[in-house]
Each structure stands twice: as structure tokens, then as C-alpha cells.
Structure 1
């Protein structure tokens, strides 16, 4: 089962999210008119832009989840999508990311200073 596709389909029904190609090159990215929110990588992984402030606030809870990987100094977190509960977790994190973007805790989309994990792992970027 392609859990990333299932999660993407679920999130595409949210009126506040717009589908498109992500800055990192992922075929499916969802965001607002000014912010990248989530990118899907492969069949079982997504990166969510929580912002650095929201990541710091949620850090204790995020560290308690085996499905979440944090990257030091980044506002992006990676969610491993192995089962339905991971999709529920992703939806919760996307909701938090939308709140952060709406409150001005996130800068407009700019993949250079704080790109998702794939952007940062891509040679030459």
C-alpha cells in the first residue's frame, strides 16, 4: 500500500492546501499560496514544514514518536508513513504547520535557508 499517496489524497481535500510540485523536486507538495507545508517522498515518507518555532514547541511529543525524525536547526520534520495512525499523525502535524504559517511564524516559501530533508540531501544545493 502506498501510504504517502493515501495521505496526499486525504490532505488534498483540505480547502486551505494547494497541490503542486515541491521546491525540492518532489512530484507532490501541498502548501498555501505563500508557504510550503508538506512534500511527499517515495511511497512511505513525507516532510512537514512545522517551522523552527513550532518544532521547538512540539519537540517533547515529536521525540516520543518512532514515526518522526527531527533534523537539528530545521523547521522540517520527516514522518515515516507505515500505517494509518502515521497518516493521522501527519494530518495533525500539517494542521500545526498551517497554524504556524497563518500566525506568521513561518517565512514565505524559500527552499534555500531551510529546505526539506530532500533539498538538503541533494548534492549541489
Structure 2
């Protein structure tokens, strides 16, 4: 098992603010909170030992992704993108907590805006 460097977690007040805004805008069913509900999103196939994220957003649309990124940026909370969690390099592991943005529920890619 690998371990990550000791990184500072985001400000707890900023995380709480982001969680409340995300739940309000996306709905409670798309925002997971609590270590028990979020622990599965702390690992991928890399075997890196990481802390559970502070929240997990289960995105189902581009609008969910946009909302999550806008709220997180405004609050200063890091976002870790995740799909199936099958990567072996630790890219889906939330190194310092924050929000995991799970896109597994998004079934199609319609367009890419390269701006």
C-alpha cells in the first residue's frame, strides 16, 4: 500500500458551505456526505492509502459537473474527478479530501467545448 504526502485538508467551513450549496442545487440524492458513505471513493486500483473525501457528487449531467466545479472553485475546495475508479496511478484518489466528482452516472458524451 502506498501513502500520499501529508497534504493540508481544505478549510472545514469552506467544505460545509460547498456541501450545503451542492445539496441545495443538485439535490441530497446526488451529494454523499459522511465517512461511511464516502470511504469507497477514497481508493482506486492504485493501492494508494488516502483519506475519505469530504463529499462525493454523483453527477448525471454536464450541468451537474458545471455546478460542482463552480461551487468548489468559489469555496476553495479541491475536486478530484472519478469515473469507475479502475485507474492504477492514483488519479481518482482525493489526496487531501475535498470533493470527489463521480461521473460514472453519465452515460453519453454529447459535445466538447474546447474554449
User: Which structure has the larger Rg over C-alpha atoms?
Assistant: 2
User: Which is bigger in relative contact order (C-alpha 8 A, separation at least 6)?
Assistant: 2
| TM-score, L = length of structure 1 | 0.30
| TM-score, L = length of structure 2 | 0.31
